[in-house]
Structure formats: C-alpha cells, structure tokens
Amino acid sequence: MAEADRQLLFVGGAGNATLAVDVVTTALEQARRRGLRIHVTNQEATLTATPTITAQADAVSAVDFSAPGESAAWARERAAAGERYDIVFGVREMAQEAVAEVAEALGAPGNTPRAVRRVRTKDEARAHLAAAGFPQPRFTVCADEEAARTFLAETTGPWVVKPRDAMGSEGVTRIDGPGELSAALGFLPGEGSFIVEEFVEGPEYSAEGVFLDGKPHVLALTSKELLPPPNFFEVEYVIPAILPEGTAREIERQVTAALAALELRYGQFHVELWWTERGVVLGEVHVRNAGGWIHRMLAHVIPGLEWFGLVYDDVLGNPVDKAALKPVRGSAIRFLTPPPGRLAAVEGWEEAVSHPAVIHAELAVAPGAVIEPHRSVENRVGHIAVGADTPEEAQALARKLEAQVRFVTEPVQG
C-alpha cells in the first residue's frame, strides 16, 4: 500500500473544551505531516460541537466510544466493507478502552483491552502493582459508608477518598479522621463503589512518555505543586522536574518497570507518583498524553518533539532518534486560583501574558462570573505557561507573571 494510502483511525475525537481541541489538533497535524489519511470517530453531539476537528479529518463517523463493544463492532463492519486502518489511536481518557478494543478487532498495534481496563480501574491497578512488588498504599473498595468506616478503624490516617475510575482529581478528598468521611462521600461524582486508601506523604511527580518498539521511553518528569489538603487541585507543573539526577533515574526505572508489569506496550503514557521516605510509590497510570497543556510544554523542553507523531512513527517503522528525546530547556505553568466569589475585575492579565516567554495562556472567566471553590481541574479558570532555558528559570518566571494578575471578587449575594 502506498504511503499516502495509510490511514489513521482516531477513536474518540476531542472533547468540547479548549485544551482537548488543542491536543487533538496537534495530534492530527502531526498525522498529516506523515501523509496519513484521518478518520475520526466520536459521539454525535461532540462531533457537532468540535467543528475544527471534523474539518481536519478526511472522514468522520458518529460512534459512541462509551458504549462497550460499539466501537469495535463498527470497526469490524468497516473492515468487512473493505476499509483498512493502519493506526488506531485516541487521546481521551474515557475512550482508551474503545481504542484498545478497536485495535484488537482490526489486528492493529495496541494495548490489550484487559490491560487498559486494569489501569483505568484504580483498585485493580493498585492490586496488580502490589502483587508485582511495587510499594502501594493500603486501600479498599467500598460499597457504602459502613465499609469505609471499617477500613478507617483498621488503618492509620490520613486517608484519601476517591472514585474508582474518574480523572482530573474529580471527587478526590483527603480526610484526617472519621468525622470528615460523610462530607468526602458527598463530594464523590455519582453513586456506586468508591476507594478509600492511605494518604501517601511526599512530593508528587509524573512521568510523561511514549512506547517505542513495545517498550516505555520516558521523555521527561514533571514536578507538581498542589493546593493544601483536603483537596488535590494542581496549581503548578515544572518540566523537567527539578530533582537530583539519581532520584530522577530511580523514578524512571520504577515507572518503566511498572508499565511492563502492567502489560502495556503502545501509545503514550502519563504516570503519577510520589517520592517518599521509602522511595517511589506509584499512583495512577494512564495510557494517554498528560493534560494541563503538558503537550505544549514538552515541545518546548525537547525542541522538535512531536509526541503524537512518535506513536505514528513507531507503527509506520519510521526511524526515531531516541538519544535526541531528552529535555534541554525548561517550562512551567501556573494555574490561577482566584478567591471564591463573584468576579468584579481582573487586573494585570494583558501585561502578564504579553511576556515573550509565554507559550500559552488562557483566561476562562470574565467579570460577573462566579468563582467556585477549587476542588478539581474542572475549576481551573486560567493559566500561564512559559518556556525558558532551565526549569528553575521557567518556574520563577511563571510565578512572577502569576503574581502580576489580580482577581477582584465580591461575596455572592443570596
């Protein structure tokens, strides 16, 4: 088959949000540069809501990735009708099981559905890693409040209460005693079982990378600053993480070993972790790119990097210079956290974001909007991402620019 006839099946398209559209636009542009034809699938309403994505595709189809088996059945029908897809890929967290099922149905490279399902179900991933010898906090899956209280009585706090399969810190709360449990359960999204686990003490990081020849390759480590407990809202990323070289090497060693133990082999990865007194403690594992504009930050710290393009190159057999996939510059982002209340004014924004080192900036609120308490990434109202020669310089600059922005809020009446 001629190179121009090679086709990418992009499962799940983009979510209807600025960041999601930017990620997928970048991924599709990198596919175009490799001569790939593009077929995008997504839920019908989201296809309509993301016209810039559908405009980049050669074909689009309304397929519900959230319905078990529907994407794989659709793909089999297309294959039976003579369609051929060389690469199956997707970036949305909630579409990763569909991506794996479609790849398996078509005989295309991909992760097994079982492996993806395991890492998307947080307690199953924890149990699998613990069985493989990786340190993990004690945890339990609870059907109700009574089960959670039993676990609290048998363990030493503090603890974390969280849903089994959500993302973006949605519904995640730290509690220091049984008296805080009911409120934490009320913060969970939806109903059903949930997880209670021991809180891990230590700074949090993540590893961003890609699978090449079936093996994980860490591109960079990201350090994080979070709002104080009880919440886990991330307010800063710095890439590469400012760490001693030996610590960084140990984190990378543990991450790559864990990905192999979890039987993952394809696409991108974003692995969350803590550095503790006992070394690396792994958190959640994702078989997709990181959020929070990290895809743009990585492109600054590794000049010429095409993160999504590496996935396509791996399938197509294009040469990849692994030695060049290392950070040589620094980047940082600050997520703005104005005080809750009705927004009366924003001062200093234009001056801050006019700085030539700004990679990307967005303000998603305007005077009159109500600022809610910051509980998850869904509450992010703006950000400033910068690039510099070193991560230390980037961090200092991002914090300086954030300090130039002042949000004036008033109490919400009624």
Backbone angles phi, psi at 161, to 5 degrees: -110, 130
Q: 88: how many CB neighbours lie within 10 A of its CB? A: 28
Cβ-count burial 113-137 (b if 16+ within 10 Å, e if not): bebbbbbbbbbebbebbeeeebebb
Which tens digit of pLDDT belongs to each residue from 303-350? 999 999 999 999 999 999 999 999 999 999 999 999 899 999 999 999
**What domains does the chain contain, in order, with CATH numbers?**
3-108 (3.40.50.20), 138-198 (3.30.1490.20), 202-328 (3.30.470.20), 332-410 (3.30.470.20)
pLDDT of residue 279: 94
pLDDT of residue 380: 82
User: Which residue stretches of the chain have pLDDT < 50?
Assistant: 1-2
pLDDT of residue 77: 98
Six token digits for residue 298: 């990585």
Give the predicted TM-score (pTM) of the model.
Answer: 0.92
Q: Give the whole-angstrom CA distance, residue 198 versus residue 201.
A: 9
pLDDT of residue 168: 56
pLDDT of residue 92: 97
Q: Which helix (H) or strand (E) holds 408?
A: strand 406-410
User: For residue 177, is it left (φ>0), alpha (ψ between -120 and 50) or beta?
Assistant: beta
pLDDT of residue 414: 62
pLDDT of residue 4: 56
Q: Give the whole-angstrom CA distance, residue 357 versus residue 289.
A: 24
